[in-house]
């Protein structure tokens, strides 16, 4: 594919100086001209309430869904809260997950990265994020798990700086790009929308 991949970045943390958002920025930077990113504002999305899943959707929800729909693939970089997926991230993915067989997440390749100041790198959240995107019929990229342990020690002047982690994550990006290429080469199937 010659034009840059359109990637949608989702950070699982709302914290202003979030390590996860610094990692996402560093990965977007490392991807360079191969990708153009836009970013989710998951903090603006209301709590999921199926009563609100009607036309018109809340504006922030519609925006998130449109961003996901337009993207060739997603890059989720998230922290871990209490051994699991941050509630705000789960909430955003829930909003993007319907209708089940025709949602913006359906068939979307998703690269998942987790971070933590601890050595465990958010690996438990990583598994929960994977399960959630599989439930929404998205396609987590099959690549060695990208978990960024001791992330706080890898920050310099507010920027994430660790060449070996970034190089490792770029292997995941190559797998993401290959999945996107494979999917774009397939004939377009019309989804059967179900609730």
Ligand X SMILES: Cc1cc2nc3c(=O)[nH]c(=O)nc-3n(C[C@H](O)[C@H](O)[C@H](O)COP(=O)(O)O)c2cc1C
Would you tell me which residues interact with ligand X (CB under 6 A)?
13, 15, 18-20, 79-83, 116-118, 120, 122
**Cis ω for the linkage preceding 99 (within 30 of 0):** yes
Q: How far is CA 170 from the centre of its chain?
A: 15
Least distance in Å: CB of 8 to ligand X? 18
- Between the alpha carbon of residue 75 and those of residues 20, 130, 177, the distances in Å are 12, 12, 11
Cβ closer to ligand X: 18 or 67?
A: 18
- How many other CB atoms are found less than 10 A from the CB of residue 156? 9
Least distance in Å: CB of 154 to ligand X? 12
Cβ closer to ligand X: 74 or 180?
A: 74
Residues 100/194, Cβ–Cβ less than 8 Å: yes
Which residue in the shown chain puts its C-beta closest to ligand X?
A: 79
Cβ closer to ligand X: 62 or 152?
A: 152
Closest CA to 122 of 166, 97, 86: 86
Least distance in Å: CB of 177 to ligand X? 25
Least distance in Å: CB of 135 to ligand X? 21
Cβ closer to ligand X: 78 or 97?
A: 78
Residues 79/93, Cβ–Cβ less than 8 Å: no
């Amino acid at each position: 594919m010659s034009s840059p991949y359109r990637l949608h970045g989702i950070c699982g943390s709302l914290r202003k100086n979030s390590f996860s958002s610094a990692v996402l920025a560093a990965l977007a930077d490392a991807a360079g001209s191969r990708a153009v990113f836009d970013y989710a504002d998951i903090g603006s999305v209301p709590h999921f309430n199926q009563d609100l899943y009607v036309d018109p959707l809340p504006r922030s929800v519609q925006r998130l869904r449109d961003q996901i729909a337009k993207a060739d693939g997603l890059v989720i970089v998230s922290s871990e809260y209490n051994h699991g997926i941050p509630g705000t991230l789960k909430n955003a993915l829930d909003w993007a997950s319907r209708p089940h067989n025709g949602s913006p997440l359906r068939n979307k390749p998703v690269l998942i990265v987790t971070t933590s100041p601890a050595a465990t790198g958010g690996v438990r959240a990583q598994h929960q994020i994977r399960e959630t995107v599989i439930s929404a019929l998205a396609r987590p990229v099959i690549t060695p798990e990208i978990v960024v342990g001791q992330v706080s020690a890898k920050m310099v002047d507010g920027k994430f700086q660790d060449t070996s982690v970034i190089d490792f994550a770029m292997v995941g990006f190559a797998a993401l790009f290959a999945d996107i290429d494979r999917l774009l080469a397939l004939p377009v199937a019309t989804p059967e929308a179900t609730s």
